Amino acid sequence: MTQIANELSFSQKLNENPKSVVERDAILANPGFGDYFTDHTAVVDFKVDANGEGGWQNARIEPYGPILMDPAAAVLHYGQEIFEGMKAYRHADGSIWTFRADANAARLNASARRLALPELPVETFLESLRQLVSVDQDWVPSKDGDALYLRPFMIATEAFLGVRPAREVSYRVIASPAGNYFGGELKPVSIWLTTTFARAGEGGTGEAKCGGNYAASLAAQMEAEANGCKQVLFLDPNNDNAVEELGGMNIFFVFKDGTLVTPALNGHILHGITRSSVMQLAADRGLKVQERKITIDEWREGVAAGEITEVFACGTAAVITPIGELKTAEGTIASPANGIGEVTNAIREQLVGIQTGVVEDLHGWLTRLA
């Protein structure tokens, strides 16, 4: 599908009924995660014209609200959808920044290619964030550790039940004030190892950030909850017992000598931007970082022998979360650290520090939004 190159500027239709300051302040005092949304949304439409040329058009900021969509819209039937997740952080001087947005833009387009959706020009992606955060800047929390979670997504809106890539697509961004993902203090979470379900496989969509992967993870998530765990760990279904990732977070192991190990990207692990940042910050500290295969057996034996001293998960929403015990159908692998481990904590503080503007951004990871 060829795309018409176009310079898009966003029109603005402001919400005539925004939430009151009192209501907004009450939400910001206790935002939780993903429960409340700001007053506006950014939208850009994509259409293929009669000559078969596709182009993005009608970029706009409009009031947040329900999407009017044909019941035959392809996304509702075949799940042609992708998304991103990032945060806007308020710095001490009031300015608002986001973290590695160029990487999110690139990943959105990688996901688009996999789901046969049109790529969005990087500049339009960045402008959609700037525009939305500018109109909704009062929604960016200033409380320590809180941020405005940004959710760009793309859906196939064409009303058509035949199976082919949709010729009408909509890109949108919504925003939601976010507190601590796991609610409060950083205590290790218990993880359930599913051997019933896989989230991804060779040639599948595991590397794309698409809703379908999350739908496919829910049954495993229920299994985890039934076993008293908050999160589920998936194995590589093609590679017996090799650890892959959680439903929405990548995983790291810290060894006694300070080496960090994370599963190598194998074509069906999501390329986490937090993952890549953790690897960079660990290397900056002089720690050895290995991307390689790590199995459940190595995990079990490593913890038992005191070789593995910390395990943590990472992703934009929860940043870095210590992993405690791993429960499996065949028994439990004990938590290596009591509370948050030293290396986990040091990298977390540095990462959050860069994001919130209190630690110098040596890698040029921040982009100013407002």
Question: For binding to ligand PLP (CB under 6 A), which residues are involved?
Answer: 85, 209, 245, 248-250, 270, 272-275, 315-316
Residue 105, phi-psi category: left (phi > 0), alpha (psi -120 to 50), beta (remainder): alpha
Query: Rounded to an integer, what distance in angstroms lies between the CA atom of residue 108 and that of residue 154?
Result: 9
Structure tokens at 198: 């896989």
C-beta of residue 148 within 8 angstroms of C-beta of residue 139:
yes
Query: Cβ closer to ligand PLP: 141 or 315?
Result: 315
Q: Which helix (H) or strand (E) holds 361?
A: none
Q: Which residue has the tokens 């040029």?
A: 364
Q: Any residues with CB less than 8 A from the CB of 22 and at least 6 apart, and which?
A: none
Is 23 in a helix, a strand, or coil? Answer: helix
Please give the angle made by the CA atoms of 11, 12 and 17, to the nearest 5 degrees.
Answer: 160
Query: Rounded to an integer, what distance in angstroms lies between the CA atom of residue 347 and that of residue 337?
Result: 16
C-beta of residue 210 within 8 angstroms of C-beta of residue 197:
no
Query: Cβ closer to ligand PLP: 8 or 198?
Result: 198
Q: For the chain, report the end-to-end CA distance as a whole number of angstroms.
A: 34
Query: Rounded to an integer, what distance in angstroms lies between the CA atom of residue 280 and that of residue 262?
Result: 13
Is 222 in a helix, a strand, or coil? Answer: helix
What are the Cα distances from residue 151, in Å, to 38, 67, 291, 313? Answer: 12, 15, 28, 20
Query: Rounded to an integer, what distance in angstroms lies between the CA atom of residue 38 and that of residue 24?
Result: 9
